Structure 1
Amino acid sequence: MKLKFFFKPAGMITVLILLLFSCKEFIEPSIDKRSVTLQAPSDNYSSPKYNVSFWWDEVEDALGYRLQIVSNNFSSPGGLIADTVITKNTFSMNLDPGVYQWRVSAENGSSVTAYSAARTLTVLQSSIKQQAVELRLPANNALINKSLTAFQWSSLYGATQYHIEIDTNNFVNENALVYDQTVPGQQVNFSLPKDMIYQWRVRAENDTAQARWSAINQITLDKTPSEKVTLNSPINNQTVNNPVNLQWQALAGAAKYKLYILKADSTSNFSQNFPLIVISTNYTFSGAETGSKVYWKVSAIDAAGNEGDAGTARNFTVQ
């Protein structure tokens, strides 16, 4: 018997659209025939500012963009200044005075576009007073769980030293800063004193002038471990059927959970798959043979990466 399917025109169009979107979820589209359109800086742009912001149009189905910058030009480069892949369609960095060319290609997991036509830009030498360094690490609004922190920033042409300040009150009172030092390089390692929100900034200097302060970045130090997780089921010493649905209570402040499943000795991991990171508050376990005794426990991990105490393990026996 043959089956016949009848679709109204509007229904057929809907089905085709759904099929196209479903296929796109599983088959990554090729972008090798597409192109990247540069926006700024314009070709032959020149500026006395050392910080240059690059901007281009997004390419559909691209997962990243490769930005290349060379001194002089790509035909006879004086040096490779940058060759980096980023996920956004903007990028900024400080350049020394000189002539440069830049170009961008888009890429995803299986294809890449041709590079855009290269553009030329000129950075003019000017007073350090009009410049500012770029902060690198920690990233703005970073959440960290280690007191010892590496603060890094970009170099600035004409600078001989860098003034770094760290505060908890947005630099309202510069006589009461957490940290205030002038250093010759572009990194300072400093142990933040306690769990708090901190702000930091850097200013380039030389013997005759001071640059503008950088943007202010914020970081949060959180070393406090999460509380213990309360296990729900199965209860301790329970006999259960395979597979076993392990459940525990959600914990406020937890970003994820670490599930420990242990052998009958209560100390050895059940397999190389454990401990396992779980986002939800349950897990279906089916790896134990009939008659096996299995131990389990769960710890919470907060957004800063602090893992709490998993507490005493429960056990169950598979029947």
Structure 2
Amino acid sequence: MNNRIGRSWKAAGRLWCALFILFLAAGTRSAAQVLPAPRLLSPPDSSINQPTSLTFAWRAVLGATSYELQISDTPLFTTLVYHDSLIFGQSTDVSGLHRSTTYYWRVRAQNIVDQSAWSDTWIVTTLPAPPPSPVPSSPPDGATVPTSVTLAWGASSGATSYRVQLSASPVFSTLVVDDSTVTATSRPVQGLANNFDYYWRVNASNAGGTSAWSASMGFTTTAAPPPAPTLTSPPNGAADQPLTVTLSWSSIPGAPSYRLQVSAGPGFATLVLDDSTLTATSRAVGPLANGAIYYWRVSAKNAGGRGAWSSAWYFATVAGTPAPPVLSSPLNGTANQPATLTLAW
């Protein structure tokens, strides 16, 4: 009898223990079912130009023992590029993401009994790939250009800015121009030295990095325009010059041609002669008018352009031979004239 009573008490005890365990389990499951979804921290939602190695972080959830992270390149998470279902902590490092790609990520909390709902989905876009090297276009390699020139190149795909370097050294040891603020595909350069060799190159940049330098291009600037010639003959202010006169001036080294202007006025508003084809240092001018004043000047030209005018000189031509008088009195052939006559013309 006592044994039966004892066994009954033992059975009742086991029953109560089982009920207690079930109660605890039910309470634990109830707690798990109300795990809130985690709140995402970083990288920020809709962030751009992020590196391809990132730390994804979220706030801790009370009661959670681990977290699950999903990363996808589709907003519905139909394909996963990263999935970790057992993260012990509130962040994890992810590497190997692709450049210029938009990713979607979410997290949920979990414990031994249940999981929370997914967090909000945040978006992150990685850095673009660096742009390719630009291709220089103008001036072409080996060109001869003026001392003011525009450097130009083809657009580099994805580039947001360019850096232009100009140097007198083919290895760019010293720089005449080093401009990294260019956003167009050309850069004007002024004030270069005459008759000088220059080298230039360009690279392209965006948020993802900087390209390699383009091929180096070289050009030579033109020679400086020649100085003004010195007038030599006839002397300034010369008088009684013939109606065809030879004008002469000094030779300018390196100047293959000259321009001569002759005018009847000191301002050269109207021209008697304007000859820019001269290769010698003299020119015969005529026929000119008798008793007139003429002004003349000369400039020289080379590959660098036309130089300044010389000072203006003037000369006067010889006066004209007067016409013969016309006799008027006494009339030709008249007779019986007095011994004292007045001759008139």
Higher relative contact order (Cα pairs below 8 Å, separated by 6+ residues): 1
TM-score (norm 2): 0.45
Greater Cα radius of gyration, structure 1 or 2: 2
